[in-house]
Amino acid sequence: MTDITIPTRKPARPHFSSGPCAKPPGYSPEKLSVESLGRSHRAKIGKSRLQYCIDLMREVLQLPETHRIGIVPGSDTGAFEMAMWTMLGARGVTTLAWESFGEGWVTDAVKQLKLDPTVIRADYGQLPDLSQVDWSNDVLFTWNGTTSGVRVPNADWIPADREGLSFADSTSAVFAYDIDWSKIDVATFSWQKVLGGEGGHGVLILGPRAVERLESYTPSWPLPKVFRLTKGGKLTEGVFKGETINTPSMLAVEDAIFALEWAKSLGGLEGLKARSDANAAALDKIVAERDWLGHLAADPASRSKTSVCLTVEGADTDFIKKFAAVLEKEGAAFDVAGYRDAPAGLRIWCGATVDTQDIEDLGPWLDYAYATVKAG
């Protein structure tokens, strides 16, 4: 058997998971502020830190004052389901699905809320024809499909004079792309993606049209306490000023604050986008240089720059498991196997918390793992 050369240089931080993602460079728990720990989240210190986190998110996202930001339970899933269960049912619904999480929202709309939505689908790696969307309906979509590596190129396909609300699951998109917030009525994300934060908490962003819906419409189904955003027909404004519905982890909040302050030190959103763009470009170069690697998302215009999904020539699920295991054993890359429901392949996180040098250093290790598994 031909000897397989082991690369001499490893990524300094081999964390390429697509969620939870790599922590920001220079992170350590010792750097977190601990004054709020062990204190009530309703005490002055707790409320002030929650409000500070909200203020930082607004600043870095360049979110207009027209939109409210709330910290809610259940990660991005909890935030998006909160939006669905409190606002849908007032008019028709269209759901777009081109990957696993989009399909999850279809399931909720069809089987749980029983809304009989119009469903527009595309295969993994593809984007559906967005011109088919009927904007007299409420429309649900993922801005960046984490499990397929496919994203919407921009918000141009969303009309300014839409009748329905736009619901954007934006968890792998915020802090990585420009988002036209005038086109977004509801957006959700979690800190665990592009900020490299901890899981368990979601962020719910509401535009004025979403607030109007909440205050003018009551769904026919019962709502659990953690979903309730109104009282007496009015928005519970405290939720969007750091008065969370249930008890948050102040440790996770401090962790998010660290990441947001790091983002500010880079120049905010522009700095985060530049890092993600550089990482995606470095991975593109690796793919272009290898005939056995390809992009699941063939069209660069709709290809993710964060959760980049790759095809491996001749690979099945078992091959990819072995491939990922080789890299993990060597400490060269962690958690790079594609999502379980996606076509067999690799998924490399290229968000801003990853260093471009680590992406570049990954290339020879992909060669090593491929050769090792091929050799049996």
> Which tens digit of pLDDT belongs to each residue from 270-295?
999 999 999 999 999 999 999 999 99
Whether residues 189 and 50 share a domain: the answer is yes
| 203 pLDDT higher than 70 | yes
- The two three-digit tokens of residue 55, written as one number: 């203020």
Task: Write down the pLDDT at residue 236.
Answer: 96
Whether residues 275 and 230 share a domain: the answer is no
**Residue ending a domain, choose from 264, 281, 296:** 264
Q: Per-residue pLDDT averaged across 339-364, rounded?
A: 97
| Higher per-residue pLDDT: 165 or 42 | 165
Task: Write down the pLDDT at residue 42.
Answer: 87
Task: Write down the pLDDT at residue 307.
Answer: 98
Distances (CA, A) of 54 to 58, 60, 191, 352, 368: 6, 10, 12, 20, 44
Distances (CA, A) of 105 to 138, 170, 265, 365: 13, 13, 36, 36
pTM: 0.96
Query: Average per-residue pLDDT in the chain?
Result: 96
Task: Give residue 21's region: left, alpha or beta (phi > 0; psi -120 to 50).
Answer: beta
CA 256, CA 66: separation in Å to the nearest integer? 23
**Residue ending a domain, choose from 218, 248, 264:** 264
CA 300, CA 304: separation in Å to the nearest integer? 8
Contact at 8 Å (CB) between 239 and 229? Answer: yes
Express each pLDDT in 120-155 by its tens digit. Answer: 999 999 999 999 999 999 999 999 999 999 999 999
Contact at 8 Å (CB) between 344 and 320? Answer: yes
Whether residues 169 and 315 share a domain: the answer is no
Task: Write down the pLDDT at residue 4.
Answer: 87
Q: Does residue 109 form part of some domain?
A: yes
Whether residues 293 and 254 share a domain: the answer is no
Q: How confident is the model at residue 2 (pLDDT cuts 50, 70, 90)?
A: low
CA 367, CA 289: separation in Å to the nearest integer? 11
CATH number at residue 357: 3.90.1150.10
CA 311, CA 11: separation in Å to the nearest integer? 21
Q: Per-residue pLDDT averaged across 193-213, rounded?
A: 97
Q: Does residue 2 form part of some domain?
A: no
Task: Give residue 71's region: left, alpha or beta (phi > 0; psi -120 to 50).
Answer: beta
Whether residues 256 and 272 share a domain: the answer is no
Whether residues 250 and 315 share a domain: the answer is no
CATH number at residue 67: 3.40.640.10
Q: Per-residue pLDDT averaged across 49-64, rounded?
A: 98
Contact at 8 Å (CB) between 176 and 351? Answer: yes
Task: Write down the pLDDT at residue 249.
Answer: 97
Q: Per-residue pLDDT averaged across 29-35, rounded?
A: 95
**Residue ending a domain, choose from 264, 295, 330:** 264
Express each pLDDT in 306-315 by its tens digit. Answer: 999 999 999 9
Whether residues 232 and 305 share a domain: the answer is no
- List all residues 6 or more positions away from 349 whose beta carbon is below 8 Å from its beta carbon: 15, 16, 17, 18, 19, 21, 22, 306, 307, 308
| 1 pLDDT higher than 90 | no
Structural domain including 38 reads 29-264
Contact at 8 Å (CB) between 155 and 184? Answer: yes
Whether residues 57 and 170 share a domain: the answer is yes
